[in-house]
Amino acid sequence: MQPLLRRSTLPHGLRVVTEQTPGARAFNVGFFVAVGSRDESRELHGASHFLEHVLFKGTPTRDSEQISASIEAQGGDLNAYTTREYTCFHMRVLTEQAELAVDVLSDMLANSLIRPADFGIEREVILDEIAMHDDDQGEVAIEAAIAGLFADSELARTVIGSSTSIGRQSARRVRDYWRRGYTSDRIVVSAVGDVDHDALCATLSAFDAALQPGEGSTPMCRRTALASTRPRVTRSTTDLAQTTVVLAFDGMAALDPRREALALLAVALGGGMSSRLFLEVRERRALAYTIDCSESAWSDAGIFTIDWQALPERTAEIMDVVQRIVADVRRDGITAIELEAAVGQLVGQTILHFENPSARMSRLGSGELLGDRRTLDDIVTAYRAVTLDDVNTLAREVLAPVPVVALAGASVSRSLAEGLQKHWLI
């Protein structure tokens, strides 16, 4: 029996999307709020992520320990994450605990206290989290690449915030940001399992009313993100054995019809052990343990990256190999055999990924926020419809500009990175 997919919009704008799977033992639910780091002013940098933390600290009816214990005592789990465009609070529980899960999440998002003492504690936790991220040179490099590519946009700023921005946040400022951003018309509730759609909507009606936008409230609005036309080189040097290098190109927005072709290009170029970059850099030359190519997207922008980690003295040779392979792909394109293999890889990965109910819940919720209601079959069909000409035309466009170059870890000279940019595909 096919799962039953239903959508509703409640009177004050709350959207509810459910996939009913009769007989499912697990209930997956997520509250997706269209508030992320790109909605922040410079003074509020990191506020979305800070808010994610403090909404777990207690409400008038539950303290922080009761919030977690009420779910974990039943074998469930709850968590949250913040992105550049939205924040998600999610739970997985047994079906018989579904009402409790929805009640706890509704209570957190609508009624949290955000007390100064709790705020101070979470500030220290986030500062420690920032230090942890700073120790991950792969993350440092990709964040630097995004910052270089979107230097004139809020996308350039990290989701987590900086030690400076987190240090200057106040409970009042974050509380005001919460009340302005967490309104019914900006929230999607997504649920997958043996869920009664109508009953869930009825349960959420009070939450919808509680967070209705107030009269005269100032709407949150985002600036359009445009990729920088200025090639940039960034370096973050740390006492490590390896250097992480990221080459970043302007990609496709989430709903751009060319995005499937870009994803297939990424797979053929560097998306697995049979890709061109992996075979040449790892298998034939043993220059790096791995090398990858990927693409990511937001509502109005995207990024296409090539990245690797290797000993710093190998950077010049790897860059030379990458440049040569990219030049070959731009000139001659990928082959029909490579495209067929890439389609098979992405179709298989996509189908297997959506076998997970939690992944389907996340897809439904984030897709509803972005206006992407495609089904799994729609996505698979889109991959299979991409032609060789689609991919090769896109390769000539995306890989032509000089990339942003971000290096992190063991020291590599700036002149080496700038040399790559200077001679890119000449």
Q: Which of 19, 52, 280, 368 is catalytic?
A: 52
Contact predicate 209/194, CB 8 Å: no
Dist CA 117 CA 270 (whole Å):
48
Dist CA 51 CA 131 (whole Å):
19
Query: Which string of DSSP letters, residue by residue, matches 125-170?
Result: HHHHHHHHHHT-HHHHHHHHHHHHHTTTSGGGS-SS--HHHHHH--
Contact predicate 330/400, CB 8 Å: yes
Contact predicate 327/276, CB 8 Å: no
Dist CA 5 CA 200 (whole Å):
14
| Rounded (5°) CA angle 74-78-79 | 165
Nearest Cα to 110, choosing from 48, 165, 31? 31
Chain-centroid distance of CA 212 in Å reads 27
Dist CA 10 CA 24 (whole Å):
26
Contact predicate 419/426, CB 8 Å: no
418 labelled catalytic = no
User: At 417, which amino acid appears?
Assistant: A
Which residues are known to be catalytic?
Answer: 52
